[in-house]
Amino acid sequence: MLDGRALSLPDETPDPIHDHLAYYKPAGELTSRGDPEGRAQVFEALPGPGRGRWINVGRLDLNTLGLLLFTTDGELAHRLMHPRYGVIREYAVRLFGPVREARLRELESGVELEDGPARFDTLERSGGSGRNVWYRVTLREGRNREIRRMFEAVGLTVSRLIRVRYGPVGLGALHRGQTRALSDTEVAALYRAVRLPVPEKRQDRSSIRKQRGALRS
């Protein structure tokens, strides 16, 4: 009431509550919706979100395994993929055949690809022996088949490629084909990584909605 007159106040609709998911993509699945050849697609393996639709954060090619993030927040997905924000991607790479140290150093200093220069932020040996040696690499962009093309540029062949981390979220204990909802801590870290406001926790939002309802009544 104001001066004896009833006022009609606009309804305060809370911000959408988004869902966020981690998925261990196996080899042989496409990161797409629909395929004329009828091949398996990652979206077929995902549970349905609470609302909206899943948006994949980046892509993995057909033969690459590992972590794929999905969200119903389009702005978050866009920023996580945009080179401007420099979100780190980490991969485990198995190389086939002998590896010369000088070739690896080229990949840290930079190589020229058909779509521009590319370089790894870090490149470290992580295990294996003989003709199959594992390395860990990080970079801040996600061009098509970029890692495979970078190694090919210095005469090396990738025999296995697994994404193990995207920004602050790691693959963790997931097995191939499994999904898990991201924790509140992981979600907050993703939003902070791309300078977006951290969303309220689900229980906090529920409490706020109840408070608003009580005020209106």
Residue 173 lies in a domain: yes
Is the same domain home to 144 and 96? Answer: yes
For residue 150, with 0-12 CB atoms within 10 Å meaning exposed, 13-18 middle and 19 or more buried, which class applies?
A: buried
4 belongs to a structural domain: no
The CATH number that applies at residue 123 is: 3.30.2350.10
- 215 pLDDT higher than 50: no
Q: Are residues 122 and 22 in the same domain?
A: no
Do 26 and 115 belong together in one domain? no
DSSP structural state of residue 210:
H
pLDDT score at 14 = 53
- Model-level pTM? 0.83
Position 180 in a domain: yes
| pLDDT tens, position by position, 193-211 | 999 999 887 544 433 333 3
CA dihedral 84, 90, 96, 100 (to 10 degrees): 70
Catalytic residue among 61, 73, 115, 184: 61
Question: Is 159 found in the same domain as 93?
Answer: yes
Q: Quickly state the pLDDT bin for 19 (edges 50, 70, 90).
A: very high
Same structural domain, 83 and 171: yes
Region of 212 please: left (phi>0), alpha (psi -120 to 50) or beta. alpha
If you search the block for the tokens 């924790």, which residue do you land on?
A: 183
CA atoms within 13 A on the CB side of 144: 4
- Where does the pLDDT of residue 7 fall: very low under 50, low under 70, confident under 90, or very high at 90 and above? confident
Angle at 213 between CA 209 and CA 217, to 5 degrees: 170
76 with 135, same domain?
no
Q: Is residue 11 included in any domain, yes or no?
A: no
Number of domains the chain contains: 2
Question: Could you list the residue range(s) of the whole structural domain that residue 141 is in?
Answer: 88-164
User: What pLDDT, in 10s, does the model give residues 38-74?
Assistant: 899 999 999 999 889 999 999 999 999 999 999 999 9
Whether 61 is catalytic is: yes
pLDDT value, residue 216: 37
In the chain, pLDDT over 90 holds for what percent of residues? 68
DSSP-assigned states of every residue in 7-56: --PPP-PPPP---EEEEEEPTT-BSSS--TT---BGGGGSPPPSSS--EE
**Residue 187, Ramachandran bin (φ over 0: left; ψ between -120 and 50: alpha; else beta):** alpha
- List, for residues 122-143, the tens digit of each pLDDT value: 999 988 877 788 999 999 988 8
In the DSSP assignment, the letter for residue 6 is -
